[in-house]
Amino acid sequence: MSSTTPNARIQVSRVPSKPVRRRDDGTIAIDLWLRRDGVFDADVALHLTPAEAELLHAQLCYALADEPVTTPAHHTPDCRKPSIGSPGAHWP
C-alpha cells in the first residue's frame, strides 16, 4: 500500500469483473478497488450480513425510483419493475 498523506483523495469503486457473492459464512461480499490520489492502492471487500444487504437493496431501489431501468426484464429486480397503474418503479 502507498503511504497515507493527510489530504489524500480516496476513491472506492466496484470491481466490474467480480459479481456480488455469498461467502461460506453467509455474509455478502462486494469486491471494491481502493485508489489514493487516483493511483490504485488495494483490493478490498465490503462484507454485509444478509439483513444489511437486504436493507441496502431496498435503499438502492428507492434511490433509483426515478431513473430509467437499464437491465433486461429477466435481470431486473421486482422493486424496479413498474407496478400496475404506476408510471414508474414502486417502493416495496
pTM of the model: 0.71
Q: Three-state DSSP class for 75? A: helix
Alpha-carbon distance of 7 to 55, in angstroms, equals 32
Rounded to 10 degrees, what is the CA torsion of 72, 78, 84, 88?
-70
Q: Average pLDDT for residues 69-77, to the nearest whole number?
A: 88
Strand runs (DSSP E) across 1-92, as ranges? Answer: 10-14, 21-22, 28-36, 39-48
Residue 81 confidence (pLDDT): 82
Contact by Cβ (8 Å): 61, 79: yes
Q: Read off the pLDDT of residues 35-66 as tens digits, 9 standing for 90 and up.
A: 999 999 999 999 999 999 999 999 999 999 88
